[in-house]
Amino acid sequence: MASFSAPELIVIKRDKGELSTEQINWLVANYTRGAVADEQMSALAMAILLNGMNRREIRDLTMAMIASGEKLNYDDLGVATADKHSTGGVGDKITLPLAPLVAVFGVAVPQLSGRGLGHTGGTLDKLESIPGWRASLSNEEFHKQLAEVGAVICAAGSGLAPADRKLYSLRDVTGTVEAIPLIASSIMSKKIAEGTKSLVLDVKVGSGAFMKDIERARELATVMVQLGQDAGVNTTALLTDMSTPLGLQIGNALEVKESVEVLAGGGPADVVQLTVELATEMLRLSGKTDVDVAAALNDGRAMDKWRQMISAQSGNPDAPLPVAKEQHVILAPADGMLSHLDALQVGTASWRLGAGRARKEDPVQAGAGITLHAQVGQRVTGGQPLMTLHTDEPARFEGALAALEGSFKIEVSGKPSERQIVLERING
């Protein structure tokens, strides 16, 4: 491998230049083994945030991060594989009903997930509220479950894209998370290394999302779809609304409860709609176009698959879910239509109640979070409950209530309306 120096590469990006494939490969390999220092990589990440990268540079960065670790492969299973990645939102529990739903149709779902940080929840934190459920599997256990059940949601092992693991922690403390080339290469390096053949990206837009406006969400989605296609992964993206929470439950066990309602054929319309849309897209990319996805939620097949998936990871699908010790109810101040309920404020309040963590080593409360009694577009009655806050530690109510200040609007003469959840589609 050609040899370069880190200061030389930093200067190229600082001066809005282009890094060659050899330079990017050298950088990622040497950063991963510790020969490029954190302070040098921080400077480079900031130069990338400010000056960007072209498509070729982003592709090279993604490929170099994949090459820093192992790449999984399921060719021996002889089945199609499909996965979904969400850029994260408030009340986004879709992975839970989605993975078993897709598996019902013979498409295997190898989903390596993360934990929540900040106001967005993490899939593993949610599933860990199920008594006995285990997030860590060996590669052999992962493979066996994928073959026997057809769906696995578990923690990504340390062998997958280690360069991203290192770079992501650095970005988190250097104000460089928001750079599109860095987000796209971070997400896609893990998804490509995970070995799925098809991938649907759920790119969230709105106050509760990384991308607050649709232009940036579109740009991120387009870059990621291109990266997937270039790596031979059939990839599409849906841009979906995250201006207000998804569903009625926000928090770990509360979201499991709502997911089980969806798997039983019920649940809020927006959660059901997005689950069905994403499942249909994953199946379409895997060549299954003539299937009635919603039927599998209504006739118990997706629920059976869920039970198998949870049991295979030592979870008890029949055990009662943890419930927080304390509740505080917020009443609707007037009759009318709920015209606004801010996703970020609700997510922040839920986090402060104990559902999320501030540092990655912090514990989360399984029962903490928020139950909404109405969604945007629905009528509310003055004096009736609007939200219930849940926590084990009542001292947390004050901070949560402060986060919710001004979070909702009720229009006395507003007309009920349906939520538009899928805003745009980006095809490969």
> Which part of the chain contacts ligand URA (CB under 6 A), choosing from 75-83, 142-150, 180-188, 215-223?
180-188
**CA–CA separation, 425 and 201 (whole Å):** 10
> Of the candidates 54, 2, 52, 56, which has an alpha carbon nearest to the alpha carbon of residue 27?
2
In whole angstroms, the minimum distance from the beta carbon of 7 to ligand URA comes to 25
186 catalytically annotated: yes
Judged by CB under 6 A, the residue of 81, 120, 186, 243 near ligand URA is: 186
Should residue 53 be labelled a site residue for ligand URA when binding is judged by CB under 6 A?
A: no
Positive or negative torsion for Cα 6, 7, 13, 18: negative
| Binding residue for ligand URA, selected from 56, 131, 168, 212, defined by CB under 6 A | 168
190, 257, 307, 390: the active-site residue: 190
Selected catalytic residue, list 68, 129, 186, 350? 186
Annotated active-site residue 216? The verdict is no
Render 146-166 in DSSP notation, one character per residue.
HHHTSEEEEEPPTTS-HHHHH
Q: Which of 77, 94, 131 is nearest to 311 (CA)?
A: 131
Cα(194)–Cα(66) distance, rounded to whole angstroms?
A: 9
Contacts with ligand URA: how many residues (CB under 6 A)? 5
Closer residue to ligand URA in complex, CB, 184/403: 184
Say whether 241 is catalytic: no
| 93 catalytically annotated | no
- Give the integer Cα–Cα distance in Å for 8 and 5: 5
Distance CA 20, CA 43 (A): 18
Toward ligand URA, which CB reaches closer, 45 or 400?
Answer: 45
Choosing from 13, 85, 115, 191, which is the catalytic residue?
Answer: 85
Q: Rounded to a whole number, what is the largest CA-CA distance in the chain?
A: 70
What is the pattern of x (binds ligand URA, CB under 6 A) and - over residues 385-424?
Answer: ----------------------------------------
How many other CB atoms are there within 10 angstroms of residue 7's CB atom?
A: 12
Minimum Å gap between C-beta 402 and ligand URA is 27
Query: Which one among 183, 238, 338, 372 touches ligand URA, defined by CB under 6 A?
Result: 183
Using DSSP's 3-state secondary structure scheme, residue 203 falls into: strand
* Element of type H or E holding 367: none
Q: Which residues are catalytic?
A: 85, 164, 171, 186, 190
Which residues here bind ligand URA, judged by CB under 6 A? 168, 182-183, 186-187
